[in-house]
Amino acid sequence: MKHILLSSLLLVNLHYLNAQSTSKRDSLQGGLREERTCYDVMRYNLDIIINPSDKNIKGSNEIVFKVDDETTRIQVDLFENMQIESIIWNNKKLKFQREYDAIFILFPKKLKKGSLEKILVNYWGNPLVAKNAPWDGGFVFNKDTKGNPWIGVAVQGTGASLWYPCKDSQTDEPDQGASIKVAVPNGLMNVSNGRFKGSTDLKNGYTRWDWEVKNPINNYDITVNIADYIHIHDNHQGLDLDFYVLRENEEKAKKHFEQDVKPMMDCFQSKFGKYPFWEDGYKLVETPYLGMEHQSAVAYGNKYKKGYMGYDISGTGAGLFFDYITIHETGHEWFGNSITSKDIADMWIHEGFTTYTESVFIECLKGYEEAQKYINGQSRSVRNDSPVIGQFGVNKEGSGDMYYKGALMLNTIRHIINDDTLWWKLLYTYAETYKKQIIDTPTVLAFFNKETGLDFTKVFEQYLTTTKIPKLVLDKQGKTLKFYWENCVDQFNMPVAIMIKGKEIRLHPTTNSQELTIDENTSWNDIEVATKRFFVKVKKLNE
């Protein structure tokens, strides 16, 4: 998808976020310079051989691109431990210069604006092996119980250029999709994104498995999964459902996936719109690591357990009736894969919304109260160690609070709106409006403001750019209840609901003290702040 420069109209306070120290390597990987912005990737044609015993990759990636600005030099990325054999353009070898993981390719003449070009990057090497995938990027070389190779890869945040040459920036996805051809030793299967196009015995001990992606796709979503897989096919209301699992888990997988996948698709499509990658189908692929949202080939490693490896991350019991990895990673098909952040500093756009989809699924099946119990249980995992939004232009994510705090912010916004018909319409329209687009926080904020007629600027600023949870101060003096916000950004003005003797009252506090007349016989026990609907703290004076 066409790259878009980072917005210069960022409406939230990011001064702290850009004050951290970074290296030249960071800025080369995360930044946008002329060598990146001058071209738009149209397609990747990846053709590689993976040798499990040597943990080696060898092959090529053809990068098809459109020239947006005349240039004689472009940047492609490949980790420096991987070797480039040659770069071919119009049957000519091109010169290139390497700086860390950035490859600066030199053309013998100026490429004209609007022209369509192709380069073939031939490369080889041993990609980094993950120590603890998916939390650190790299390959996982494992074996199943019968000793067969079982291989996967997860590189979100670390970078797809860890294992194949690409323009490793979330600002640019191949508009016309990708071809992924992976040769593996005979007896093994490779499963990648999109549709299976056939396999070919190469007569050298390897079989090549060909996959085709029709939709734009994030670099980090492109994947390989190698194992002695069994293929289970199903269909739900016209959508192909394909499951690739270890041979030994075939019967277990059939029963397990039947319980969640179809109800999940019904729920998510009713709330967020039609599955965005219909042409590429939907797959769950069993992996030797926990999971990852690889587009149309979701990595699944939850060992056929309910919850998060058998554990309810909310601590309430509300999350034990579904498989966390199936629900969460599929939620990313809408939020992260379809709607993508321009910079990983804005990864809350992926993780906050997707974490919220877990509660949405619970609400679809179990109702509002159970969903609220679940999402509020997640608040115990909010650390407030650093801001949710990270540092732009240097490949730096923000705090892990992007998950739970991001979801709790959305739950708070739902109750600020105080109109569920409008709330569900807002989410649905948001998912449809920005389907298969690359956006940023100001875009989300502007959309929420426009569609609701409310101003969420200070709410976004508070929850995304600070480590503070707003605190509602209440001071009861006879017939008067004073109230105001503290521990918040300047001019914070978020409404909140309280209950007084069982009657709900909506306050509109600011950082300046306001007063509400109450019955003089009202005790502190009669006053309750709706902290389950609003992610806030409360301080009662003179209690």
Strands ordered across the beta sheet of 225-227: 138-143, 149-154, 225-227, 189-191
E-strand spans in 228-281? Answer: 229-236, 239-246
Q: State the pLDDT at residue 542.
A: 82
3-state secondary structure 165-176: CECCCCCCCCCC
Task: List, in sequence order, every beta strand (DSSP E) within 193-261.
Answer: 195-201, 206-213, 225-227, 229-236, 239-246
Nearest to 213, CA basis, from 269, 173, 251, 170: 173
Under 8 Å between Cβ of 371 and 357:
no
What pLDDT was estimated at residue 28? 87
Strands 225-227 and 206-213, by their bridges, are: unpaired
Q: How far apart are CA 319 and CA 458, in angstroms?
A: 31
Q: So what's the pLDDT on residue 29?
A: 87
Task: State the DSSP H helix or E strand holding residue 39, giving kind and residue range, or none if neither.
Answer: strand 39-51
Residues 6+ apart with CB under 8 A from 141: 52, 55, 129, 149, 151
Please report the pLDDT score of residue 395 as a whole number.
92
Question: Which domains are seen in the chain, by residue range?
Answer: 25-258 (2.60.40.1730), 471-541 (2.60.40.1910)
Is the separation of the CB atoms in 340 and 435 below 8 Å? no
Tell me how long the chain is: 543
pLDDT score, position 543: 73
Predicted local distance difference test score (pLDDT) of residue 325: 98
For 102, the token pair is 């950035």
| Per-residue pLDDT tens digits of the chain, which is 543 residues long | 333 333 333 343 443 444 456 789 889 888 999 999 999 999 999 999 999 999 999 999 999 999 999 999 999 999 999 999 999 999 999 999 999 999 999 999 999 999 999 999 999 999 999 999 999 999 999 999 999 999 999 999 999 999 999 999 999 999 999 999 999 999 999 999 999 999 999 999 999 999 999 999 999 999 999 999 999 999 999 999 999 999 999 999 999 999 999 999 999 999 999 999 999 999 999 999 999 999 999 999 999 999 999 999 999 999 999 999 999 999 999 999 999 999 999 999 999 999 999 999 999 999 999 999 999 999 999 999 999 999 999 999 999 999 999 999 999 999 999 999 999 999 999 999 999 999 999 999 999 999 999 999 999 999 999 999 999 999 999 999 999 999 999 999 999 999 999 999 999 999 999 999 999 999 999 999 999 999 999 999 987
* Burial classification of residue 5, based on how many CB atoms lie within 10 Å of its CB (0-12 exposed, 13-18 middle, 19 or more buried): exposed
The whole-number pLDDT of residue 22 equals 78
pTM of the model: 0.95
Q: Identify the bridge partners of residue 299 per DSSP, sorted by sequence position.
A: 285, 292
Q: How many CB atoms are located within 10 Å of the residue 34 CB?
A: 11
Residue 507, pLDDT score: 98
pLDDT computed for residue 20 by the predictor: 54
Provide CB contacts within 8 A for 10, sequence distance 6+: 440, 441, 442
